[in-house]
Copies of this chain bind each other. A is one copy, B any other.
């Protein structure tokens, strides 16, 4: 921690800050320049971080030196983490693909799309049983019945199941059905939910909040790891900006940035990032080229009849040709899809 004093700060102002820091059992390092005195804190920054030093008289600004996250950082763990989702490994050479409808609607529908995405090369199926819908009047998901359908589809196809958890009360019930639990965008900072999933032995797919900085995103992952569950896969899904031609703005550079700050794998959700089916293929290729460790894509057998997110769902045949287009790009990076 560095504290920059104003040019008008008095000796007493400086001493008051120094005393405060020493009172916390830390040491300081003073540097008196021509224009400013700068106080460096020696010792564990975490302790000082929460103190409102900026309100001391004569303080101009307080600058943190260290990142606030630990367990998720490359400094804590140098080698990239491999997260195993019932045998499918994220974070290594393989780029697993997750596909399926926005919501679980019917067993026949889900099974149909499951067979098709599996044939095209997907390893996991997605599908919401509990849906976070902006409107209280929209379809809210089938609930546990949806989870049972997912389970049966897994038994038939072998596709691993990823589904969203929205409420701490549902966690226990959901564990037997899901191979990976998704924490959605709107719950990225639902800290109680993060703590609970930090206590179970199940991979967690953590989606970036709509306007979360990378630091906040990694701090949310830190919540989960801090409770003992180190099986976290991050997911970039577009951020909210002024731009109005796509549903969100795909922040592709988040992929290499996360790779440089954290050992956790990061996958990409093109469907929510752009929100319009025709842009999903080019942006998926871009994410793979930038180093994404996987994709999660909405696919529906008949998007026109989808109960939710039809406008951003691929038809199985478009998904199939996207998978074909991804392959040579993955190969160019020395990676594989299956």
Contacts and interface: CB of A to CB of B under 8 A. Distances in A.
B241 A241 contact: yes
B257 A279 contact: yes
Interface in A1-54: 2, 4, 7, 20, 29, 31, 33-36, 38, 40, 42-44, 46, 50-52, 54
A223 B52 contact: no
Q: How large is the interface on A (under 10, 10 to 19, 20 to 34, 35 or more residues)?
A: 35 or more
A206 interface: no
Nearest to A40: B31
A56 B304 contact: yes
B51 A136 contact: no
Contacts of A35: 66
A295 interface: no
Interface string A95-134: 0000000000000000000000000000000000000111
A337 interface: no
A29 B30 CA distance: 10
A145 interface: no
A309 B55 CA distance: 11
A36 B66 contact: yes
B289 A329 contact: yes
A51 to B, nearest CB: 7
Contacts of A134: 68, 189, 216, 219
Contact of A332 (B191, B219, B241, B332): B332
The 5 closest A-B pairs by CB, nearest first: A52-B310, A211-B211, A328-B332, A289-B289, A286-B286
Given A136-B227, A213-B245, A285-B290, 4 more contacts: A7-B75, A20-B304, A210-B211, A245-B254
Interface of A: 2, 4, 7, 20, 29, 31, 33-36, 38, 40, 42-44, 46, 50-52, 54-56, 63, 65-66, 68, 75, 132-139, 166-169, 186-187, 189-192, 194-195, 210-211, 213-216, 219, 222-223, 226-227, 239-246, 249-257, 260, 273-274, 276-279, 282-283, 285-291, 303-304, 306-311, 313, 325, 328-329, 331-333
